[in-house]
Amino acid sequence: MSAAEPEQTVADRRARRLEERDVALAAARETISECTSGCITPIEATALAFSAGEGRAVPGRFLLDVRGGGRSRLRREQNLYFLNSQGDYSAFGVLVIAFEADAMRALLNPQPLPRATAEPEGDIVVQAHRPRDEVSLSVANMISRYRGKRMLVDGEVSLQWIRQGYGAVSEGRRTRRERGYYQVWVRVTDPAQVAWVGEPAPRD
């Protein structure tokens, strides 16, 4: 037996577990109208990103159940907020949706649509809704609102290098002798990239 075979066996077991988790999503997309042109599950996104390789991005529409999230601890990336397909963001196969702060703030505070009312004479009068209190941008508010929901995201998936022991992003690329691992990211700069669909995801 070669030295690579045990490692491959571990990878196979991880892949099987990921496939089991993706079964519900793969079935759900058959019933989602927004997925008629194709939606990509987390394990499929992982395969796409690794096939493309470091420094390359693959466009698509991604479907995931939100099971966790957080905020970047790196100072120069401190305005990134994350929603993940698994509770453990470091697990192999997790799909990370990385939001710029302004995009997440807008997502937490959607603009209400104007309300139309009909007058007795038949004229239509458009009335604006009263502004609601703004939801502050925080990990707690983000997780409280979105954990357990099923999300569609339009964007590009790519590999992002995470330095081990630092919890920091290294510009998406690793340097020589640097320990770490790859995450699979889709970046969101505009809340219009995101939609919520289907039934709530089951709790872990």
Model's pTM, two decimal places?
A: 0.77
Mean pLDDT for each 10-residue chunk of the chain (204 residues)?
Answer: 51 67 85 91 94 94 95 70 92 93 94 60 54 85 95 97 64 63 95 85 53
Q: Please tell me the predicted confidence (pLDDT) of residue 189.
A: 96
Q: Please tell me the predicted confidence (pLDDT) of residue 23.
A: 85
Q: Please tell me the predicted confidence (pLDDT) of residue 111.
A: 79
| Cα separation, 6 vs 193, whole angstroms | 40
Q: Are strands 194-196 and 115-118 parallel, antiparallel or unpaired?
A: unpaired
Q: Please tell me the predicted confidence (pLDDT) of residue 113.
A: 58
Q: Please tell me the predicted confidence (pLDDT) of residue 167.
A: 47
| Cα separation, 47 vs 158, whole angstroms | 10
Domain residue extents for the chain: 4-196
Give the total residue count for the chain. Answer: 204
Helix, strand or coil, per DSSP, at residue 19? helix
Q: Please tell me the predicted confidence (pLDDT) of residue 192.
A: 96
Beta bridge partner(s), residue 142: none
Q: Please tell me the predicted confidence (pLDDT) of residue 148.
A: 93
Which tokens is 12 given? 């196979």
Q: Please tell me the predicted confidence (pLDDT) of residue 88.
A: 87
| Cα separation, 54 vs 182, whole angstroms | 9
